Structure 1
Amino acid sequence: MSEKLHAANWTHAGDIRPEPGRLASPLPLRDRIEAGARAGFIGMGFIFDDITSALHQHSATELRAMLADNGIEQVELEALADWFVVGADPCTDALRLAEAVGATRVKAIGAFEGDVQPEDMIDGFARACDRFAGIGANVVIELMKASNLNTLEKGLAVVTGAGRANGGLLIDSMHVVRCGISLDAIAAMPSGALLAIELDGVPEGPPDPDIWADMVDHRLQPDEGSFDNAALVRAARAAGFNGPWGVEIVARAHRALPLDEAVRRSAAAMRAVLART
């Protein structure tokens, strides 16, 4: 039986460089969904802004049918921010959008400024998980070098402290390398803590000194670069994770590709990696 594949948002978002306040894809949602299906993905991710825009053109029923008709079983929305801020309510609008498309997962991000400690985020994460549990969606925190949750230990402190079955971590190849997370540590994660994974190729040599450019301009396909993604898959399996296997390519070269070529290349690279495991 072939492995199930998930295409994270930037893998099929087209020619759009992630910038604060400028995240929506220039491509029609239907085109992206159909391209993902043709490449063999059963899961796809989208930015909240993409769903907001799509709801101006389609009803929620039409969006769900668009996904179902193309065999997209898993829908991820990103990125939930400020869930840890006392008095903030980022979940209400996000929940509305997640319900509209039948989202199965919401990607959350940590703090990018200020002195926010992991222990101060536990209650907020528990509340966010409870909000999305009602629609059967997981909430996953993506560890990032640029955020306050930049080590495996910090991320685990939040998700284990919250103690919610639908709450866990998302690990991404680039961030594994940039955050200095060992594969042994991933393999030893508590059962149920690892709920999502994204593979991408990490370029050889030192990182771009501009941390944002390093994140969004240089990633390679999962079967390229200096990092052993097959070993990461094996470590994830040891931690109890067994797919769907995600791919997230945020890179200048990838953005320049036509949509179908971009998603086909990423799907082929994922299959090449999984074949080595």
Structure 2
Amino acid sequence: MYENKIIASHWAIAGNHYCGDHVEIADTDFKERMEVIGRIGFKGAGFVEADLLNTKEKYGYKEARKIAEANGITEIEVEVLDKWWDYDNKEAQESRKNVFEAAEQLGARHIKVFGSEGDVEKDKFIEEFVKLCKDAEAIGTKIAMEFMPFKADMDCIKKGLEVFRAAGMKNAGFCLDTWHTFMGPSTYDDIALIKPEEIVTVELVDGYAELVSGSLWRDTCDYRLPAGEGDFNCKDFIGRVLDLGYKGTIGCEIIAIDHRELPLKRAAARAYASVKQYL
């Protein structure tokens, strides 16, 4: 039986925002969010860099960790690192510094990262990935690689496995997202290729098989639905994952127009119920 380790992903409870809208700080205060999601039943929460820095300024990470733990929120996810291998990219390296600081101070379970878009050679990417994992290991956390249809060299399960197995780092693996699996070149059958220890975290969301907006990117920002409300057969997906023996965290990264207009309590309750129904 699955022990509840459900994460309230950042975008599911951030309010009227979405990834890339340049206002990534949640509409509600950190303390209020932790109190609300804790009462609903969540055991974890996700945070993006801008929201983390805002929380640091208001509470400090030491106090923020106390607030989270007082509300039963112990599975912390921080995100997201892109271009982390590019040492000439000052913005990316500043993000790496900020996210690692937050992960260490909050006792984060894992850090979410992206793959490249073909702008770095594979061997170099793996070499830098090993370094990233070792840095994470030094602060007691894991690296969760999120493959995406938009990332040419990290768009599916098979490509992710090539990197993980070449790197050989025990604190690294997938952020295995229903949306990116269904909408990309992977199939649910590919899940059987994964060892349970090669999954760091899971995101169970839904969507439409046919693009609503005509754009893959816009659909992932506007029509990433609660599990059970679309075409992805979330029951089959999570069943295959749990059959592997996976026992880690499961997030609900809902990013949808109607969802982000909901008040915090309703958004959080909807997100929790969408995952809980399958466990």
Q: Structure 2 length as normaliser, TM-score?
A: 0.91
**Is 1:31 equivalent to 2:28 in the alignment?**
no
Match of 2:23 in 1: 22
- Change in Cα spacing, 1:131 to 1:145, as seen in structure 2 (3 Å) is same
Match of 1:184 in 2: 189
Contact 1:195–1:241 under 8 Å retained in 2: no
- How far is 1:239 from its partner? 3.1
Alignment length (residue pairs): 273
Match of 2:104 in 1: 99
Match of 2:264 in 1: 259
1:171-216 per-residue CA deviation (whole Å, 9 max, x = no partner) reads 1111111113222211221342111110011124335322221111
Match of 1:82 in 2: 83
Match of 2:44 in 1: 43
- Change in Cα spacing, 1:130 to 1:207, as seen in structure 2 (3 Å) is farther
**Larger displacement relative to structure 2 (93-102 or 166-175):** 93-102
- How far is 1:248 from its partner? 0.8
- How far is 1:123 from its partner? 1.1
- Structure 2 stretches of 5 or more lacking a match? none
Measured in 2, the distance between the counterparts of 1:3 and 1:156 equals 27
Task: Give the percent of matched residue pairs that are identical in Structure 1 and Structure 2.
Answer: 29
Match of 1:150 in 2: 155
Measured in 2, the distance between the counterparts of 1:117 and 1:221 equals 36
- Change in Cα spacing, 1:228 to 1:119, as seen in structure 2 (3 Å) is farther
Measured in 1, the distance between the counterparts of 2:228 and 2:29 equals 28
Measured in 2, the distance between the counterparts of 1:15 and 1:133 equals 34
Aligned residue among 133, 136, 141 for 1:132: 136
Please tell me the residue identity of whatever aligns with 2:272: A
1:10-32 per-residue CA deviation (whole Å, 9 max, x = no partner) reads 11111112226432223211121
Contact 1:187–1:235 under 8 Å retained in 2: yes
Contact 1:23–1:49 under 8 Å retained in 2: yes
Please tell me the residue identity of whatever aligns with 1:252: I
Please tell me the residue identity of whatever aligns with 1:15: N
Measured in 2, the distance between the counterparts of 1:204 and 1:253 equals 18
**Is 1:120 equivalent to 2:124 in the alignment?**
yes
Aligned residue among 211, 221, 232 for 2:237: 232
Measured in 2, the distance between the counterparts of 1:17 and 1:93 equals 20
- Change in Cα spacing, 1:154 to 1:118, as seen in structure 2 (3 Å) is farther
- Structure 1 stretches of 5 or more lacking a match? none
Contact 2:158–2:190 under 8 Å retained in 1: no
Measured in 2, the distance between the counterparts of 1:109 and 1:125 equals 11
Measured in 2, the distance between the counterparts of 1:74 and 1:197 equals 13
Q: Structure 1 length as normaliser, TM-score?
A: 0.92
Measured in 1, the distance between the counterparts of 2:103 and 2:232 equals 33
**More helix by percentage:** 2
Contact 2:183–2:209 under 8 Å retained in 1: no
Match of 1:195 in 2: 200
Contact 2:49–2:98 under 8 Å retained in 1: no
Match of 2:12 in 1: 11
Aligned residue among 116, 122, 133 for 1:111: 116
SS at match of 2:57: coil
**Larger displacement relative to structure 2 (243-252 or 201-210):** 201-210
Match of 1:243 in 2: 248
